[in-house]
Chains A and B, each alone.
Chain A
C-alpha cells in the first residue's frame, strides 16, 4: 500500500508539481534512444528543477559497465544531444551522482538489479516507487517484462509503472499478445505506451485550441466543414533505420500511431475533463467510428508509393531501393495517402484526407480544416476570383502556429476580394523554449498522468484500421508506384482528392 502523507508546504501557486521520490530503471540503458533522447531529457528536467526530491536512475543492459564508465559515456552523449548548451557541469555532477548501471546479461543480473533498487529505496526513502522504461528493440519487451515479474523488481510498497516505446506490436494480434504479457506483471493503468507526437506542445495545443475556446467548436462539424487534410511530410529518407523500416513501412511507422492520433484529436468530441480517462475515451470513440477501408476498392481510399531518386532541398538523393540496408526489389511503402470517414453524428460524409511520406519537398506537419464556401455569392464572379474557401490551419511543425484564411476587400474603388491569412505564430507569442516531447512524457509518467499515452483499446483500434490495408498491399501483385524524391508523392494520390473535386493544400 502506498502511504501518502500530505506535505503541508506543498500548497498554493507557483510550486511546480514535481513527481514523488522515485527511481527510473531504463532497460536499453546504453542504447541509442537513451543517450540521444532519454538522458538529455532527464538532465534538462534536473536543470529545470522538475525532478523529484530524491531520485535516481539505473541503466540496465546486457553488456557490463561500471557506474563510472556509464556516467562518463552519458556525460559525452548529453553534452552532445542536450537541447540546452553548454552542459552545466555543476548540475551534471550532482545528477550523475545518482546515476547507476547494472548489467543484466542473465537471470543473476536481474537479482543484482533488484538488490540495487532495494538499497536505493532504503538510502533515499523513495518508498519503492519505480518507473521501468523499455528503451530496447521491440523483441526484448516480452523477456524484460517477464523478468521484472519473475525477479520481483516491483517494490512491495509504492507504485510501479512501465513505459513502452513504439512500435507497439506489428499488427493487431501481436499487439494483443504483447499487452497480455505485460498484464501478467502490470495493470493497464500502470502501462504507459509512448507516442512521442502526443508529447509535442503543439499537438497538445490542438486540444487547447478546440476546447478552451468557444468560437471554433460550433463550426467544427459537417455543417460548416467541407473536409479535413492532415499532412505529415518528411524530407529525410530512411537514413540508418532501414532494418526497422523495411519491416514497418510508412503505414506502421507513421499512420498507425501519429496520423491516427492527430485524426483522433481533431475529430473527437469534447471530453468531460482533461484527464486520462475522459480524453482517451473520446479518442477511442473516434477510432471506433472510423469507417474500415473496403479492401476490394482499395485504390479509392488508400494510395501507397515509394520514393525514387530525385532532388530534395537542392541535393541529389538516391532511390529508396538504393539506400543502404534496403532490398533491391523492396516493396516497402514510403508514402501513404488515405481518404477516411468518421461515421458519427458530427462528421458523417466529411472526408478526412491524410498523407505522409519520406523525401517529400518540405518538412511539414499540419492539420487543415477546410470550411464550406459561403452559401450565396453576393459579389460578382470577377470580384471573387481571388477568393478561396475559409481554412483554419493548425501547423504542428515547423513554425508552430495557427492561421485562418479569409477574404478581404482589396483597397481599390469597387469590390475586389482577395484571400488573406491571419497568422498566429506560437514561437513569437511565447518566447519560452518549448520543452522536448520526451521531457513532457517522462515527467507525466513519473507523475502517473497517462493522458498523453496510448491505451490498450486505442492501440487495438489503430491496428484494426490499418491491418486490412497492409494485408491487401502485401498480397497485391503490383509493387508500390515510384514517386520522384522531392515531389508530393505519386500521381494516384492526387487523383484520390481530385476525384472529389478537391485538391491537396500547398503545404
Chain B
C-alpha cells in the first residue's frame, strides 16, 4: 500500500505526534509494508461473519455505586509534572 505524506500527517495528528521529516519517511515505508501485509486478511472470506470484539459474552457489568476508596488527592497529585494548591497545572487553553 502506498502511503502519502498527507496520510502520515493525518495519522500523526490523530495520534498527537510530531514527526521529524526523517521519521515521516521511515513511517511511510514501515506503514506501507505493514498495511500491505495486513491486507492479506482480505484473502479470507468474512461475508456474513459478525465482528467479535470480546471472546466471552459478558456485557454491562454493573456494581453498586458505592465509594470504597479513600480520598488520596495529594498522593495522586504527587505524580503530576506540575501542580499547585491541590490542582493540576495545565497550559492556558482560553484567551
Do A and B belong to a common assembly?
Answer: no
Q: Which residues of B contact A (CB under 8 A)?
A: none
Q: Which residues of A contact B (CB under 8 A)?
A: none
